[in-house]
């Protein structure tokens, strides 16, 4: 029997560095199959909907009612929300940090008893179904897996004074991407422990692989994709429009 796999798409942030809710931003003049304008979140959601092994998707949304579940639903392609559509989409208000938002989503999913879960940044609209499937395969084999993009520049480690303390080998370092995949119960328990440490020590966790690595075990890496970029700064939105225009120029687009 195939394992039950869920996914979490994080979209609860304020997008303070951009000034607009980036996940709800339109992807140029792209539309879905029913003519509805396509958003950043909608494009990412479609990639997960294309993976038949995923049964349920939880989207974390801002606590602000103006940007919450209603706005998130409105930003998704119509066909994803139709009755009996698969995967089934759920929504949960996020917390004050990305980690706490993911924890909220994991807690909601606990009642659905998935065997595994993928966790993805809603601001990565260019994720492709092929990469999602590769992460699933690696996750099922290793229990925890993430895509890692090799560095092209040589990284340096510095101290608080701005002095280089270590020259890192770039072949041993990479940029983490999402989706990150984990066995469900261990990642939920790891988040519970991370929440306790945050409360006791003020610790900050930047991604779920870090949470798993500290409380659950090793994380396997697979090659990431240079196309799987994250929208973080205003210029990234300009790249979004440009990439969309380039897509329309390709044969068959």
What's the pTM?
0.91
In tens digits, what is the pLDDT along the chain, a chain of 253 residues?
Answer: 788 999 999 999 876 666 678 999 988 778 888 888 899 999 999 999 999 999 999 999 999 989 999 999 999 999 999 877 889 999 999 999 999 999 999 999 999 999 999 999 999 999 999 999 999 999 999 999 999 999 888 889 999 999 999 988 888 889 999 999 999 999 999 999 999 999 999 999 999 999 999 999 999 999 999 999 999 877 777 766 665 555 544 444 3
Tell me 178's DSSP state: S
pLDDT of amino acid 252: 40
Going by their DSSP bridges, the two strands 88-93 and 220-223 should be labelled as unpaired
Number of domains in the chain: 1
pLDDT of amino acid 27: 85
Query: What's the pLDDT tens digit per position in 182-199?
Result: 999 999 999 999 999 999
Q: What is the rounded distance in angstroms from the CA atom of residue 98 to the CA atom of residue 204?
A: 10
Whether 114 contacts 217, CB under 8 Å: no
Host domain of residue 67 = 5-249
pLDDT of amino acid 210: 97
CATH code of the domain in which 55 resides: 3.90.550.10
pLDDT of amino acid 251: 41
Going by their DSSP bridges, the two strands 54-61 and 37-39 should be labelled as unpaired
Query: What's the pLDDT tens digit per position in 141-174?
Result: 999 999 999 988 888 999 999 999 998 888 888 9
Distances (CA, A) of 171 to 148, 149, 159, 207, 228: 11, 10, 22, 21, 20
Alpha helices in the chain (DSSP H): 40-49, 69-74, 98-110, 129-142, 184-201, 208-215, 234-249
Whether 60 contacts 44, CB under 8 Å: no
């Amino acid at each position: 029997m195939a394992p039950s796999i869920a996914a979490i798409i994080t979209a609860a942030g304020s997008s303070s560095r951009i000034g607009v809710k980036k996940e709800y931003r339109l992807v140029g003049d792209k539309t879905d199959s029913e003519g509805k304008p396509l958003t950043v979140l909608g494009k990412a959601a479609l990639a997960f909907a294309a993976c038949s092994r995923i049964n349920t998707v939880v989207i974390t949304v801002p606590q602000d009612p103006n940007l919450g579940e209603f706005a998130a639903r409105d930003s998704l392609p119509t066909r994803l929300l139709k009755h009996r559509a698969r995967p089934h989409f759920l929504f949960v208000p996020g917390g004050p940090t990305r980690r706490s938002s993911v924890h909220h989503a994991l807690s909601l999913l606990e009642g659905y008893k998935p065997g595994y879960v993928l966790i993805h940044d809603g601001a990565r609209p260019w994720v492709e179904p092929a990469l999602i499937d590769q992460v699933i395969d690696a996750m099922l084999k290793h229990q925890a897996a993430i895509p890692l993009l090799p560095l092209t520049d040589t990284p340096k480690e510095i101290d608080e004074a701005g002095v280089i303390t270590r020259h890192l080998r770039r072949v041993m370092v990479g940029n983490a991407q999402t989706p990150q995949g984990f066995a469900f119960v261990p990642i939920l328990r790891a988040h519970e422990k991370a929440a306790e440490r945050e409360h006791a020590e003020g610790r900050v966790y930047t991604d779920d692989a870090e949470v798993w690595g500290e409380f659950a075990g090793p994380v396997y890496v697979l090659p990431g994709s240079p196309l799987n970029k994250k929208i973080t700064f205003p210029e990234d939105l300009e790249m979004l429009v440009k990439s969309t225009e380039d897509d329309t120029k390709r044969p068959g687009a």
